[in-house]
C-alpha cells in the first residue's frame, strides 16, 4: 500500500469534503481516504490506482490538487 496526502484547493466546507471523499472512494484500489478541508490522506494499492487517476477524480469533483506528499506508516 502507498500512502499520500493530496493538497487540494477550492474546498471550503463539509459538502466539499463529501464530494472529494465520494470521488476518491469510487476509484479501484483506494483502501481509505480521510478527507478534510484542503487535504486528503489516501491509502491505495498503486498496482490498481495511480496518483494521476486520483488527481482526475478530484478535478472531476470540481477541485484542484496543488501537490502531494508521500507519507510513511
**CA–CA separation, 63 and 16 (whole Å):** 9
The pLDDT score that the predictor gives to residue 16 is: 97
Given a cut of 80, is residue 73 above it in pLDDT? Answer: no
On whether the 2-70 domain is CATH 3.30.70.100, my answer is: yes
Asked if 42 and 3 count as a contact pair (C-beta separation under 8 A), the reply is: yes
What per-residue confidence (pLDDT) applies to 45?
96
From residue 19, give the alpha-carbon distance in Å to each of 2, 39, 73.
22, 12, 26
**What size, in residues, is the chain?**
73
At residue 72, the pLDDT reads 82
Q: Note the pLDDT tens digit of each residue in 22-70.
A: 999 999 999 999 999 999 999 999 999 999 999 999 999 999 999 999 9
pTM: 0.93
Closest CA relative to residue 58, chosen from 11, 14, 13, 12: 11
Domain ranges of the chain: 2-70
Amino acid at each position: 500500500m502507498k500512502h499520500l496526502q493530496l493538497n487540494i484547493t477550492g474546498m471550503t466546507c463539509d459538502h466539499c469534503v463529501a464530494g472529494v471523499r465520494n470521488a476518491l472512494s469510487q476509484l479501484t484500489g483506494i483502501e481509505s481516504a480521510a478527507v478534510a478541508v484542503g487535504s486528503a490522506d489516501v491509502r491505495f494499492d498503486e498496482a490498481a490506482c495511480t496518483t494521476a487517476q486520483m488527481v482526475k477524480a478530484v478535478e472531476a469533483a470540481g477541485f484542484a490538487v496543488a501537490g502531494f506528499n508521500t507519507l510513511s506508516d
